[in-house]
Amino acid sequence: MPPVGERPGRGPAPRTGLSPLDGPLRFLLLSSFLIPLGSFMVLPFMSVFLHERLGMGLGTVGVVLAVASLVQFSGGVAGGALADRIGLRRTMLCALIVRTAGFVGLLLALRWPPLAVGALILTCCGAALYLPANKAYLIHGVEEERRPAYLSAGNAALNAGMAVGPLIAGPFVLSSPGWLFVAVTALFVVVTAGHARLPSTSGEQPPAPGAPRQSLLEGVALLPFAANALAFYLYFHFQHFLALYAVERSSSAFYSLVLLLCFTLVIVVQPLASGLIRRMPYGPALVVGFAGLAAGLAVLAIGTRPALLAGGALITLGDIVLFLKNDLEALRRSPRSDAVIFGQQRLAAGLGACASGVLGGQLYSLGERTGDTRAFWLLSAAQCLLLPLLLLMLRRRAAHPAQQPRRSTVAP
């Protein structure tokens, strides 16, 4: 079978867009929709399930979800390292087996509730292992000019699954959780079986015996790592606290509409803008992305329904630029394998999201005590303007022998 990214008998694919895709890549993009579809039929409702169905206290639920989120994001660095050791396809298979076992555990937790916490952590471990290998497999053998289109297509599929999953599962989470967990487990079994039939990527061999092992963060692209952590830190101010703010000023249904708008923008805009984002120099891309975040967070402070929609849209457009450009720049600057690089970027995302929960929670709590939560969004917007200045200062000092460009691309 030809290397992933090439067509049998036709030579290398053209240097633009996605077309045509071979069978393995079509299946991988379909999986990038089905996996979050199944996951988000369950995971967004875990706080309700753990509290109301299994009787856990809200304090305990909060700790469990915080640990699970940190594992799911930051564990990606271990997923990238595992892919370096055993290969991309085997890592994806291991990850899906672990995640499927987690959903089986959630089903069994209906009879024995203490299993629920371990099962949830297991599903998050599977997610952490899977995503770096998935992204690396998706762009393996693909010319650099086409990589943004492939990554954007994968992100669009992921966000589509995240948007549709809760809509399907919402009516059944509390009324029929057993059947829901059975359906999700069956979906993961089918997807896992499909991954077992994927070809190994060309050159996918384990390291030679006795080869020195590199540390998880060796060769990290410092500036894209820091920029990714900062982008997720600021984005999760929106992700963590918009529900409290929006439901108080509108309704839970309107909050769902805001989220649907954000998902739709990622699905539609990022693939269309991927080529432009690739060509954009890195410095201006950071300015555009963080300016979008700042504008969106400031608009949220108005507090009206149109402001909630407009703020969510601006934040999403800023993140479309930041998340994709940071990944592309990390791939350009780091000498490590693609899977390790994606794992390092996931670690940055986890650190940023965790810091947002801790520091952002204190700021939002202060706003509640003073009776003006609108100030929280203005403070968050100010951080979007001030903190990136530190990154631009870091950019001037970021040249390091271990981070020399490994691929030719548009100079920043």
Q: What is the structure's pLDDT at 249?
A: 86
Q: What is the structure's pLDDT at 395?
A: 65
**pLDDT, tens digit, for every residue of 273-321?**
999 999 999 989 999 999 999 999 999 999 999 999 999 999 999 999 9
Delineate the domains of the chain, giving CATH numbers in brackets.
22-196 (1.20.1250.20), 222-398 (1.20.1250.20)
Whole-angstrom Cα distance, residue 174 to residue 128? 27
- Check residue 5 and give left, alpha or beta (phi > 0: left; psi -120 to 50: alpha): left
- Of 34-48, 153-167, 187-201, 383-397, which has the strongest mean pLDDT? 187-201
In this predicted structure, the answer to whether residue 13 has a pLDDT above a threshold of 60 is no
| 363 residue type, one letter | L
In this predicted structure, the answer to whether residue 185 has a pLDDT above a threshold of 80 is yes
Whole-angstrom Cα distance, residue 206 to residue 208? 6
Range 177-213 burial, b when 16+ CB lie within 10 A, else e: beebbebbbebbeebbebbeebeebeeeeeeeeeeee
Of 14-18, 65-69, 198-202, 298-302, least confident by mean pLDDT is 14-18
Q: What is the structure's pLDDT at 206?
A: 56
pLDDT range class, residue 239, cuts 50, 70, 90: confident
Average pLDDT taken over every residue of the chain: 82
Average pLDDT over residues 181-187: 91
Q: What is the structure's pLDDT at 203?
A: 53
pLDDT range class, residue 9, cuts 50, 70, 90: very low
Q: What is the structure's pLDDT at 301?
A: 94
Q: What is the structure's pLDDT at 210?
A: 55
Share of the chain above pLDDT 90, in %: 34
pLDDT range class, residue 260, cuts 50, 70, 90: confident
Two structure tokens written together for 101: 């076992």
Instruction: Answer for the pair 107, 178: CB distance below 8 angstroms, yes or no.
Output: yes
Count the Cβ atoms, other than its own, within 10 Å of residue 49.
24
**pLDDT, tens digit, for every residue of 343-383?**
999 899 888 888 887 788 788 888 888 888 889 999 999 99
Residue in the block written with tokens 């970027």: 345
Q: What is the structure's pLDDT at 58?
A: 58
Q: What is the structure's pLDDT at 204?
A: 54
Average pLDDT over residues 81-107: 92
Q: What is the structure's pLDDT at 7?
A: 36
Instruction: Answer for the pair 78, 88: CB distance below 8 angstroms, yes or no.
Output: no
